[in-house]
Amino acid sequence: MYQLNNDPDVLRYTGDLPFSSIQAARNFLANYQDYQKNGYGRWAVVHKETQHFIGWCGLKYHLEDFTDIGFRFFQKEWNKGYATESAKAVLDYGFDTLKLTKIIGRVSSHNKASIKVLEKLEMEWWKVEKVEGMGQCRIYKKEL
């Protein structure tokens, strides 16, 4: 996680800051409470053949009463279909297992690659909205 969030290109459109240290990344993971609070959260994505951590994908509940899908991968894993494959599995899990009725995707209007992923997932463009730390964002949604 430290290395993933230490790449400025990976963080370019996220609004997140890099971890200040490896220990800060460890503390973040040790204190990650989304599963306990909401019953779901982000998942580590591990390459099937190498068993190496290549990024993460998952759902996040926000206090404003919505759930979003997010994903982040090491640059060397970009354009290999991992974001689309893992995000599809996450959407299926959210709708089929968690019985959610709506999941949104928020993406910087400049992040063409992530916009493409959301469109491959057949998420519907919904609106444009300013998101703190991310600037102008396109908001997509998928509803059952």
What pTM, to 2 d.p., does this model score? 0.94
Q: Could you give the CA distance from residue 119 to residue 116 in angstroms, rounded to a whole number? A: 5
Using one digit for the tens of pLDDT, what is the confidence trace for 47-61?
999 999 999 999 999
**Could you tell me the mean pLDDT of each successive run of 10 residues in the chain, 144 residues long?**
97 96 98 97 97 98 96 98 98 98 97 98 97 94 96
Tokens 């640059």 sit on residue: 75
Give how many domains the chain has, as a whole number.
1
What strands lie across the sheet with 53-62, from one edge to the other?
42-46, 53-62, 66-73, 102-108, 135-143, 124-131
Q: For residue 110, how many other CB atoms are within 10 A of its CB?
A: 14
pLDDT of the residue at 95: 98
Sign of CA dihedral 76, 55, 103, 107: negative
Q: How far, in Å, CA of 88 to CA of 108, rounded?
A: 20
User: What CATH number is given to the structural domain containing 81?
Assistant: 3.40.630.30
SS3 27: helix
Range of the domain at 66: 4-143
Residue 18 structure tokens: 């890099």
Name the residue among 9, 14, 23 with its Cα closest to residue 108: 14
What tens digit of pLDDT does each residue of 6-16 get?
Answer: 999 999 999 99
Rounded to the nearest 10°, the torsion over CA 10, 16, 112, 48 is 50
Indicate the helix (H) or strand (E) that contains 103: strand 102-108
